[in-house]
Structure 1
């Protein structure tokens, strides 16, 4: 969808967050004189730590899981679905905000509850939206989505961060949409144990809870948070240590470079009196939900 048509949707989401007293920040596309310093997080970025791609450390991966789940819960609480959960749609702040994870890009969001909090009627069919490796089975099979489907995408995102790839997708494989759909169905049946055995044991009840949640049911966010915390505790993972990008030299350098770029761009935007260039207007907005 072209950004010009996505903006009204993004604005509605941001307005709803503002009304719910959730802290939010907008990038130039929505407000020319406000710029949030952020750099994108993605599992592959950690490849700069060594010649071979590596995942984040366990502490950072688990803390990403906790914060991103909190962001999705807040988005759902104001009546919207994300429908494009993936690591590229989250970013971390720079400077004093480097421990905050932001949610980006609300172009595929859809309201699932009306202003009175009543869930909208389930549609007979839904669009195939999102990013195939992480989109839920409901999207791949053209079914209407609910909050539980965002959490399925969240599970795949965290699985990629922890394991380094997904059974149906890695950097060396050409993406096959039909095969991806079949894999996700297979992951619910004969392949489920093999897939979940690649993850800590607490992730098995998490996955089962997500896929068995009814369409109209509120997901058990607290249960998922407890399972993540329990997994970290069992493995003696300290969740109070700094994030990798706060202490690992190559990532610290990347953050510093991103901050310098953000400062330069912010100065350019603030000093501009006229319109913005197309590239800046297409910058995805970011939002932090505390």
Structure 2
């Protein structure tokens, strides 16, 4: 690794100052291709704890990932009363790195799900948090951005009195799909694959330009991953072409297998069938999808307003000792206790 590629590293106790405050590093939360994330506290008020994302300045990098992150968070964080976007606390730049101080959140949905006995949420919880995940997408889409890498590891629950709020993370590969006039950009003839194979839309597999409907398709796979005990049909397959075939098959010959063992198959299939009617330029009827999620929970004998699974036992929104694995270039935070095979867990979400 040459000097340009070396990460910016801080030890516990290190102080990073901005124009308005000084922050003390508590510990490393995760690191990866573009830098690291640290848990920090305000030097004057140690009770105020935050997450600090640090990105090394590189001449070889055309665009700062943090600039995209900051631009999106500033636009969207006040969209609704209970925002699904982390609040910006502070930001700054030094000679060799940029940094962003943000609201600290709890475990990712991937971590919460994997902590469950069967590594799956109850339907009430899955559909309830699924609605929140889609609300975050809707808010992002209102401002002309698509995420392009939706998955359980890129959502997290809040802390304390915000533990029922789901936050969306990682805007490193987000794209502006509206032009300066607020019109959809003309689709490019060919685009590179972006995102995670397991949750990518069919259009993404086919190198077709992605729009809001593709985020929603990825969200649908994410939702199934949260609630299906047997998991997605392709959960153990990593070849893109084979995964694409199974995504197509689940809409036809393997539909019964894909949705086996659940009572709300009709509601989920209606969501899938609706999303399949959409084209790049089409507006998504989010309210229609929310309603089907609510009906699905009722069909399963529950409600999206029920306590979430993690509220019924030990509170997992508090930070725990153990490993935090992060694919930083995708801003993927995933709490991983020592007894879990860290490499295997990461591989499942790459």
TM-score bracket, normalised by the shorter chain, equals: 0.7 to 0.9
Segment drifting more, 75-84 vs 239-248:
239-248
**1:80–1:111 Cα contact (<8 Å) kept:** yes
1:89 lines up with 2:163 in the alignment = no
User: Computing the radius of gyration over CA atoms, which structure comes out larger, 1 or 2?
Assistant: 2
Give the TM-score, by structure 2 length: 0.66
Q: Secondary structure at the match of 2:306?
A: coil
Report the counterpart of residue 155 of structure 1 in structure 2. 220
Report the counterpart of residue 233 of structure 2 in structure 1. 167
Cα–Cα, structure 1 residues 115 and 61, in superposed 2: closer, same or farther, change >3 Å? same
1:110 lines up with 2:175 in the alignment = yes
Tell me the alpha carbon deviations over residues 201-225 of structure 1, each in whole angstroms, 9 at most, x when there is no partner: 2111100000111211101111101
Cα–Cα, structure 1 residues 55 and 208, in superposed 2: closer, same or farther, change >3 Å? same
- Which has a greater percent of strand? 2
Match of 1:135 among 183, 200, 217: 200
Match of 1:66 among 112, 131, 142: 131
Cα RMSD, aligned residues only: 3.0
Cα–Cα, structure 1 residues 192 and 79, in superposed 2: closer, same or farther, change >3 Å? same
**2:110–2:152 Cα contact (<8 Å) kept:** yes
Cα–Cα, structure 1 residues 149 and 30, in superposed 2: closer, same or farther, change >3 Å? farther
**2:158–2:317 Cα contact (<8 Å) kept:** no
1:284 positional shift? 3.9
Segment drifting more, 53-62 vs 40-49:
40-49
Cα distance in 1 for residues equivalent to 2:258 and 2:295: 20
1:126 positional shift? 1.5
1:241 positional shift? 2.3
**1:39–1:91 Cα contact (<8 Å) kept:** yes
For structure 1, the residue ranges without an aligned partner over 5 or more in a row are: 262-278
Report the counterpart of residue 184 of structure 2 in structure 1. 119
**2:205–2:244 Cα contact (<8 Å) kept:** yes
Cα–Cα, structure 1 residues 33 and 16, in superposed 2: closer, same or farther, change >3 Å? closer
Cα distance in 2 for residues equivalent to 1:109 and 1:73: 14
Cα–Cα, structure 1 residues 231 and 48, in superposed 2: closer, same or farther, change >3 Å? closer
Tell me the alpha carbon deviations over residues 207-259 of structure 1, each in whole angstroms, 9 at most, x when there is no partner: 0000111211101111101111111223331322221222222xx1x33344x
Report the counterpart of residue 9 of structure 1 in structure 2. 68
